[in-house]
Chains A and B, each alone.
Chain A
Amino acid sequence: MVCGEERKNMQNRKRTTGTLPVLVFPLLFIGVFFFFPLFSILREGLTDESGRFTVKQVLSIITDIYYLRIILFTVEQALLSTAFSILLGLPGAYLLAGYEFRGKSIIKAITTVPFVLPSIIVVLGFVIFFGNNGILNGFLQTAFHLNEPPLKILYSMKAIILAHTFYNFPICIRLVSAVWSRINPNIERAARSLGAKGFTLFRTAILPQIMPGILASAALIFIFCFTSFAVILVLGGGPRFTTIEVEIYRLAKVSVDFNRASALALWEALFTVIFMFTYIKLQHRVSFAEKVALRFERPRLSSLLRSAYGPAVILYLALVFSLIIAPMLAAVHYSLLEKSSRASQFSYTLGWYKLIFTNAKQRAIAVSYGAVIKNSLFFGFMTVLFSLPVGTSIAYLTSRKKIPFGGFLESIAMLPLGISTIMLGLGYIRMNQTFDITGKWYAIACAHTVIAYPFVIRSTSAVFRKISPSIVKAASSLGANRWKTFWRIELPMIKSGIIAGATFAFAISIGEINATLMLYSPKLTTLPIAIYRLISSYNYFAACALGTVLMVICFLVFFIIDRMGFEIS
Chain B
Amino acid sequence: MSLMLKNVTKQYPEFNMALSFFVEPGKLLTLLGPSGCGKTTTLHLIAGFISPDSGDIRIGSESIAARMPHERNIGVVFQDYALFPNLNVFGNIAFGLRMHGWERGKIKRRVAELLELVRLSGFESRSVTNLSGGEQQRIALARALAPRPRLLLLDEPLSALDAKLRKELRSEIRRIQQEVRLTTVYVTHDQEEALALSDNIAVMNRGRIEQTGSPYDIYNEPQTLFVAGFVGMSNKIHGKIAGTTKSGAVEYVFEVLTPEGKFTVHSRKKHAPGSDATIVFRPEKCTLDQNGGSANSISGKITAFEYIGENMIVGVQTKHGEYTAKLSPLDGRSSFNQAGASVRIFIPREHIKLLPADPRSAE
Contacts and interface: CB of A to CB of B under 8 A. Distances in A.
Given A480-B99, A484-B99, A4 B55 contact: yes
B65 A478 contact: no
B341 to A, nearest CB: 42
B47 A477 contact: yes
A493 B99 contact: no
Interface stretch (A240-248, A465-473, A503-511): A465-473
B84 A7 contact: no
Interface residues of B, number: 37
A427 to B, nearest CB: 42
A470 B77 CA distance: 10
B49 A4 contact: no
A479 B51 contact: no
Nearest to B51: A7
B96 interface: yes
B86 A476 contact: no
Contact of B70 (A1, A3, A7, A480): A480
A473 B96 contact: no
Contact of B65 (A1, A470, A471, A484): A1
Contact of B80 (A470, A476, A489): A470
B100 A477 contact: no
Interface string A1-19: 1111001100100000000
A5 to B, nearest CB: 8
A486 to B, nearest CB: 13
Contacts of B83: 474
Interface in B179-197: none
Interface in A149-164: none
A478 B147 contact: yes
Contacts of B123: none
Contacts of A470: 78-80, 82
Contacts of B144: 477-478
Contacts of B78: 470, 473-474
Contacts of A493: 84-86
B69 interface: yes
Contacts of B71: 479
Contacts of A105: none
Contacts of A478: 70, 95-96, 99, 143-144, 147
A400 to B, nearest CB: 15
Contacts of B68: 476, 481
Nearest to B143: A478
Contacts of A8: 51, 53
B79 A476 contact: no
Interface in A450-507: 468, 470-471, 473-481, 484, 488-489, 492-493, 495
Interface string B201-218: 000000000000000000
A480 B100 CA distance: 9
Nearest to B85: A493
A6 to B, nearest CB: 8
Contact of A476 (B51, B56, B69): B69
A479 B48 CA distance: 12
Contact of B82 (A2, A474, A479): A474
Nearest to A491: B86
A481 B74 CA distance: 14
B76 A474 contact: yes
A489 B84 contact: yes
A484 B49 CA distance: 17
A460 to B, nearest CB: 16
Given A473-B76, A476-B49, A489 B66 contact: no
A470 B136 CA distance: 15
A430 to B, nearest CB: 47
Given A2-B65, A7-B51, A489 B86 contact: yes
B247 interface: no
B121 interface: no
B52 interface: yes
B63 interface: yes
B54 interface: yes
Given A468-B80, A473-B78, A477-B76, A4 B54 contact: yes
A373 B44 CA distance: 57
Nearest to B100: A479
Contacts of A11: 51
Contacts of A2: 65-66
A478 B97 CA distance: 8
Contact of B95 (A468, A475, A492): A475
A468 B160 CA distance: 16
A384 B77 CA distance: 40
A2 B65 CA distance: 7
A11 B68 CA distance: 9
Contacts of B85: 493
A1 B63 contact: yes
B73 interface: yes
A492 B87 CA distance: 9
B33 to A, nearest CB: 20
Contacts of B95: 475, 478, 480, 488
A475 B84 contact: yes
Best-surrounded residue of B70, B73, B143 (most CB of chain A within 10 A): B70
B50 to A, nearest CB: 9
Contacts of B99: 478-480, 484
Contacts of A495: 86
B300 interface: no
A432 B330 CA distance: 96
Contacts of A488: 95
B82 A7 contact: no
Given A1-B65, A4-B52, A7-B51, A476 B70 contact: yes
A99 to B, nearest CB: 29
B51 A471 contact: no
B51 A4 contact: yes
Contacts of B82: 468, 470-471, 473-474
Contacts of B56: 1
A480 B94 CA distance: 12
Contacts of B49: 473, 476
B283 interface: no
A7 B65 contact: yes
Contacts of A476: 48-49, 68-70
Tell which of A2, A474, A481 has the most Cβ of chain B within 10 Å.
A474
Nearest to A481: B70
Given A4-B54, A478-B96, A492 B79 contact: no
A479 B86 contact: no
Nearest to A492: B86
A479 B96 contact: yes
Contacts of B38: none
24 contacts: A1-B56, A1-B65, A2-B65, A470-B78, A470-B79, A470-B80, A470-B82, A471-B84, A473-B69, A474-B76, A476-B69, A477-B47, A477-B74, A477-B75, A477-B144, A478-B95, A478-B96, A478-B143, A479-B70, A480-B70, A480-B95, A480-B99, A488-B95, A493-B85
Given A1-B66, A4-B54, A477-B144, 15 more contacts: A4-B51, A8-B51, A468-B82, A473-B49, A473-B76, A474-B84, A477-B69, A477-B70, A477-B72, A477-B74, A478-B70, A478-B96, A478-B99, A479-B71, A481-B68
Interface of A: 1-4, 7-8, 11, 468, 470-471, 473-481, 484, 488-489, 492-493, 495
* 5 residue pairs, one from A and one from B, having the closest CB atoms: A479-B99, A478-B96, A2-B66, A470-B82, A492-B86
Interface of B: 44, 47-49, 51-56, 63, 65-66, 68-76, 78-80, 82-86, 95-96, 99-100, 143-144, 147
